[in-house]
Copies of this chain bind each other. A is one copy, B any other.
Amino acid sequence: MQNFEWNIPTVIEFGKGAIEKLSAMAESGSKALLVYGGGSIKRTGIYDDVMKVMNENGITVFELSGVEPNPRIQTVRKGVDLCKAEGIDMVLAVGGGSSIDCAKVVAAGACYDGDAWDLVLDASKITKCLPVYTVLTMSATGSEMNKNAVISDLTKNEKWGTHSPLFKPRMSILDPTYTFSVPKKHTAAGTADIMSHTFENYFNFEDAALQKTFAEGILKTCIKYGPIAIEEPDNYEARANLMWASTNAINGLIGLGSSCGWSVHPIEHELSAFYDITHGEGLAILTPAWMEAIMKKDPRTITNIAVYGQNVWNLTGNMDTEEGRLTIAQRAVEKTREFFVNSLGIPGSLHEVGIEDEEHFEKMAEKASAQLGGAFVPLSKDEVVEIYRAVK
């Protein structure tokens, strides 16, 4: 096990009705900037729930709405201007990862004299930040309990991650009923996203055994409750387990002591960037093919994937021989593929999500492989092209 630090002071208030705990915001001041995306929080009544708590606690609310799925620096700047003009004390994001990421950079920008884009390009410039609070309405990105934010400037075709310990939310409200209205397609993609975050942390050559059992637990929870949430959107237990799984998949817990670079996310990132497909669907399509590619490249990984098959899919077989391990590993890959396609209903290939050509594969693979140097198994440009082709 590598050395690690666990340092997440975020208070999580979990469960139906937890919104009332937002009254704690009064400790941070009396003026809040509410950051959200479209009108869905008004349709679902979440907006009214939030405003009720703000009113009851004497908090004046200013609004930054219309945050994009990939939040833009232009929107961040609007929020920063509002904060500065109105002397705002704290920022409250209501939504998924996009609203939360936007809120984090607004909160830092409000305390910074220059342009907020500086803080995206150079995290070391984030030295002060308004307190951030969040109300989660989508189980996927984990931004509600970590220090990360991703912001885009589409005028320059740039999308960058930034981070600061100051970004960690003071408090996040996780009410599973707030995810009842997430449509089937996004519930499926969100489940695949949670599982992919878990795989990225789970597959490595470190012996951080306890953390691996936690990762297996998250995977088993997704496998059990993802399909239930798709079939029964109002199933509280399913939504609750997925919600808490999503936070724990990416708050650092399961990666403690075994950090290595991510693999499928960089490969998918290029797919989304070039073809604008749904991130979680891209991950689901690529993951089984990536598993096959790494087993071919580095046979040590066959053991990792066989152990995954045993512990997550309850596969049995002979772990003492190379052939036995390979058989279990291959069945584990097949189980994973079947789960995404049959149980979550996610398309199994690129042409099913509208990608018909191979035009950009070389360029995409070049960019992706450049980010895989520190990954579990580094892959060359050609090997990444093979993955794209395998799932065409």
By a beta-carbon cutoff of 8 Å, the part of chain A in contact with chain B is 1-7, 9, 11-18, 21, 176, 207-214, 216-218, 220-221, 224-225, 236-237, 240-241, 244-245, 248, 256-257
**Taking CB as reference atom, which chain B residue is nearest A311?**
B220
- DSSP class of A's interface residues: helix, strand, loop or mixed? helix
A190 to chain B, nearest CB (A): 15
Determine which of B211, B237, B256 lies in contact with A1 in the assembled complex, contact meaning CB atoms within 8 Å.
Answer: B237
A11 contact set on B, CB distance < 8 A? 5-7
Q: Are B9 and A14 in contact (CB under 8 A)?
A: no
A3 contact set on B, CB distance < 8 A? 14-18
Copies, count? 2
| Residues A4 and B9 in contact in the complex (CB < 8 Å), given A217-B210, A218-B213 | no
Determine which of B15, B209, B224, B245 lies in contact with A221 in the assembled complex, contact meaning CB atoms within 8 Å.
Answer: B209
| Residues A256 and B14 in contact in the complex (CB < 8 Å), given A1-B240, A217-B216, A240-B1 | yes
Determine which of B4, B209, B212 lies in contact with A14 in the assembled complex, contact meaning CB atoms within 8 Å.
Answer: B4
Determine which of B12, B236, B248 lies in contact with A210 in the assembled complex, contact meaning CB atoms within 8 Å.
Answer: B248
A236 contact set on B, CB distance < 8 A? 1
Determine which of B209, B214, B224 lies in contact with A225 in the assembled complex, contact meaning CB atoms within 8 Å.
Answer: B209
- Give Cα distance in the complex from A208 to B224, angstroms: 13
A216 contact set on B, CB distance < 8 A? 213, 217
Q: Are B217 and A1 in contact (CB under 8 A)?
A: no
Q: Are A213 and B209 in contact (CB under 8 A)?
A: no
A21 to chain B, nearest CB (A): 8
Determine which of B15, B207, B214, B241 lies in contact with A237 in the assembled complex, contact meaning CB atoms within 8 Å.
Answer: B207
* 11 A-B pairs whose Cβ atoms sit less than 8 Å apart in the complex: A1-B176, A1-B244, A3-B16, A4-B12, A5-B14, A14-B256, A209-B221, A210-B218, A213-B213, A213-B218, A213-B221
- Give Cα distance in the complex from A11 to B224, angstroms: 33
**Taking CB as reference atom, which chain B residue is nearest A247?**
B6
A208 contact set on B, CB distance < 8 A? 241
Q: Are A12 and B5 in contact (CB under 8 A)?
A: yes
A7 contact set on B, CB distance < 8 A? 11-12
- Give Cα distance in the complex from A378 to B214, angstroms: 30
Determine which of B4, B9, B16, B217 lies in contact with A217 in the assembled complex, contact meaning CB atoms within 8 Å.
Answer: B217
| Residues A240 and B257 in contact in the complex (CB < 8 Å), given A12-B7, A14-B5 | yes
**Taking CB as reference atom, which chain B residue is nearest A4?**
B14
A209 contact set on B, CB distance < 8 A? 221, 224-225, 237, 241
